[in-house]
A and B are shown apart, each in its own frame.
Chain A
Amino acid sequence: MDDLSKSSMKFFSDQQLCFADILLPHEVQARIQVAVLNFLKILSFPDPAISDLPLINRKSSNSRVSEGILTDVSWIFLSHSFCSRSLMKANATKAFIRVWKVMEMCFEFLTQEKRVTQRELFYKLLCDSPHYFSSQLQVNRTIQDVVALLRCSRYSLGIMASSKGLVAGRILLQEPNQEAVDCSACGSSGYAISGDLNLLESLIMKTDARYIVVVEKHAIFQRLAEDHVFNQIPSILLTAKGYPDIATRFLLHRMSRAFPDLPILALVDWNPAGLAILSTYKFGSIGMGLEAYRYACNVKWLGLRGDDLQLIPQQSLAPLKPRDLQIARSLISSTTLQDNYRQELAVMMQSGQRAEIEALYFNGYDYLGKYLAKKIVQANYI
């Protein structure tokens, strides 16, 4: 069964799939070189022109869902809708040049065989071309443009993912030629997940856990780790401290493939953002749709859910904010959301309220562990 998820038992949706290749440095450099040659060729035509950049659309209109038939994992992917970025359009000129500048910088790093983080790249670009880059967000978006243009993964460009995630619990992780790290002995801070995907790929994992618990918030992760909840119910705790980054998802995906019998359970706040986070682990994202689809996992929603609201006091419920409503609308319009999730979302919207996991502490600081254990044992997850 293991191989089936790798096999090509996928049908028409695959023809629509647009993906970013995971390439070696010299292959990426080759693509950049082809880009330069094409640009110069077109610039030297008898009827010369400045070529436009064809970028794959990273919008929901270009997103599709692949429902795994023989696997139970669905994912979001991007299809072949392009938008064209031209130097000549007044409001796109700078964005056009930003793409080339990032390509230039990545090319340099690849030649030097260096890897950088997005943050480092931002500072380097800020020093080099302050007129073009003003924020980290802009740099991140430009990087995604380059990914969309060259169709190679961000990591292939030499850009490391952020190191946000943490692992704790009954798992041994061993980097090649290093000592194995016992994540149950890491204390409340856990083992930091590296941003280097190659390194994560090479980790040797051993576990005797029976569940993987993905936690939305760092504070909750810390409490659970401190209380050694993973010993009461043999489990692995994982968090990305909020919205999941590629490295955390990568590792989770590796775990799910290495240990396919372990159900993956998510513990998120009762609000649209929590559901969004869960969905990202589950289906992937559009923003990084060219790569993220690879790391979709079958994550189940443990809590907080509608029926847990009776466990928390009325006062701990807060009103939904406009941002929450925005996220909820976006979730509702996505085709991937299964019915029972939709129902939960509907209840959230109707009540107009949200609740955080911390509300469970009303029942005592150790209540969280008990709650978790009870739900797992009852297989109360959707």
Chain B
Amino acid sequence: MDISSVQKLCIDLISSAVQRCRLSEDLCRLSVVLKSSPPIIRVSISDTGTGSCLEEFQDLKCNREGIGTEKWDGLLSIKTTSISDNKIYHYHLNLRGSVSARRLTRLPSILKNDAKFSGTEVCLSISETIDALLNDIKHYFQKMLILKIPSVAAELVIERGDASGLRCQNVFLPNECSPLNFSSSNVERLKSGLEEYVLKHRNSLNNKCDSCFCSREKLKISSGVARSMESHRSPGLIVEAVIAISEHSESLCFRSSGNKTEVLHFKDFSPSSVSIASLNALTSIDWRSYGLMLVSAVDQVDHALIEWESLPPYLHIDMVIHCYHKQFPGKCKYQPDRHLIKKGVKLALDDLKEKHTGLLLSAHAVKICSYAPDLASSIAGIILSSNDVKFRSKCSLLLELSQSQEIGKQTVEDRIKEKIISVIETNDRKPEKIKEAAPFLFEDDRPQDLDPADLYLEEHEGGDDVFSFPD
């Protein structure tokens, strides 16, 4: 079929290795070694996680039909052992063989001699260009770093068997830049992971890009976790969403996608494709209440691409969504839940709005804020054209301005405007239902009868009522 299948196969094998390491709860090492002697690459994936069982590999069979025999002969060489085993089992598995044919060949086990360890090594030979494979693997690891699985240290070793005999090595370690420890929650790790991902320009750099992000404040990050109730239909699912908003003054690095956001998806601690549920969830969120307008959300295989109507020029949004089963990630099959995903993302958005004033203001609030200067100017005008000294000083007191006589109109106006905008922004953060009616300007005549069906336009349409023409 196509070249990507071979790469996908390798990625799948690496992914299983990562899961095994994660489940082991001990610090594990994952090594991917590519020995290139063109045209063949010998791929060896070894980990010190929990031991694997054969079913894992036999499951691979169904998806491998598409890989041409010229790319891969279908042979996997597996060595595995669990902590409790006293030997290392060694198999050759031929995934090309038909069911009835004996595909599994057991090779002599290696005795462990009371040593306590576990791990797996999978080897295969493929016929492939090393660069394409390398790219995919690097890409995979860069994404996996977002999850910041604490117990895995991964390394990628390439041995080029050509004349130069070069050997180079990449090490992917989580927890480089931030103090996380084993007890941090998954979502904390995800947050930290996304932060680094963005700061290091998708983890393509080793350290954060100082030219784009010269101060920590430029990156605003928040998370939301939505949990489903446990029932036989939907086992305890968790959706974690993390959103990062970065503002940089000048895009010195590659940033071309100003109006677009890549939404990375993870499922059960592994990068996943985008589900319909997720796309539906993203399109059904009321972005307007966050001051955003969604043009489209498209599945781009390994991420969803959201296009916005128009973002402020230097604003960039990154998002990651991780769905997993609470207790047995990966073990239960389940459908991703649209409502849960939507809830998780909304919680992250609300969190962002809560923590950062003025961020993600709804379009409505922005519009009202635009009128604040005029309102402030009117009120300041009244204050300053008054000859009543007591009145003016009372106003200064209320505005927390100094009591001296020489307060200029601009100062008063600015202070009033600040306060008005802050009320509008605070109000914007409250969910619709909680918003209370504001107090009246004149409270002493408590209205005996507040007209509930009050529409301002109606009041002014007095045309029907002959007696309502004001002179």
Contacts and interface: CB of A to CB of B under 8 A. Distances in A.
A32 B387 CA distance: 13
Contacts of B467: 60, 63, 76, 276, 279-280, 283-287, 289, 330, 334
Contacts of B378: 97, 100-101, 103-104
Contacts of B458: 59
B462 A81 contact: no
A311 interface: no
Interface in B110-141: none
Contacts of A34: 442
Interface in B436-471: 437-443, 445, 447-451, 454, 456-460, 462-471
B394 interface: yes
Interface string B419-438: 11011101100000000011
Contacts of B463: 326
B471 A162 contact: yes
A51 interface: yes
Nearest to B469: A287
B162 interface: no
Given A58-B462, A288-B471, A81 B440 contact: no
A198 interface: no
Interface string A270-285: 0010001001100111
A92 interface: yes
Interface stretch (B169-177, B215-223, B308-316, B364-372): B364-372
- How many residues of A sit at the interface, in one of the four size bands? 35 or more
Contacts of B457: 91
A129 B456 CA distance: 21
B451 A57 contact: yes
Contacts of A82: 447, 449-451
Contact of A44 (B374, B385, B419): B419
Given A37-B391, A38-B442, A43-B420, A87 B368 contact: yes
A59 B459 CA distance: 7
Contact of A59 (B442, B447, B465): B465
A95 interface: yes
B140 to A, nearest CB: 48
Given A49-B438, A100-B375, A41 B398 contact: yes
Contact of A100 (B379, B449, B450, B469): B379
Contacts of B68: none
A43 B456 contact: no
A243 interface: yes
A42 interface: yes
A376 to B, nearest CB: 27
A40 B399 contact: yes
B419 A48 contact: yes
Nearest to B449: A81
B382 interface: yes
Contacts of A370: none
Contacts of B471: 161-162, 243-246, 285, 287-288
A50 B456 contact: no
Interface in A66-85: 76, 79-85
A382 interface: no
Nearest to A132: B374
A94 B368 CA distance: 9
B437 A140 contact: no
A52 interface: yes
Interface in A156-170: 161-162
B59 interface: no
B210 interface: no
A298 interface: no
Contact of B466 (A49, A96, A284, A331): A331
Nearest to B381: A104
Interface in A4-49: 29, 32-44, 48-49
A330 B463 CA distance: 10
A90 B428 CA distance: 13
B104 to A, nearest CB: 70
A343 interface: no
Nearest to A147: B470
Interface in B34-70: none
B470 A141 contact: yes
A91 B456 contact: yes
A44 B399 contact: yes
Nearest to A108: B385
Nearest to A292: B471
Nearest to B435: A88
A80 to B, nearest CB: 5
A170 B457 CA distance: 47
B456 A95 contact: yes
B388 interface: yes
Nearest to A55: B459
B441 A51 contact: yes
A89 B427 CA distance: 12
Given A37-B395, A129-B374, A243 B424 contact: no
- List 3 tightest A-B contacts by C-beta distance, closest first: A287-B470, A83-B454, A100-B378
13 contacts: A29-B386, A33-B386, A36-B383, A40-B395, A48-B426, A51-B439, A52-B438, A57-B454, A59-B468, A88-B427, A286-B468, A287-B471, A327-B466
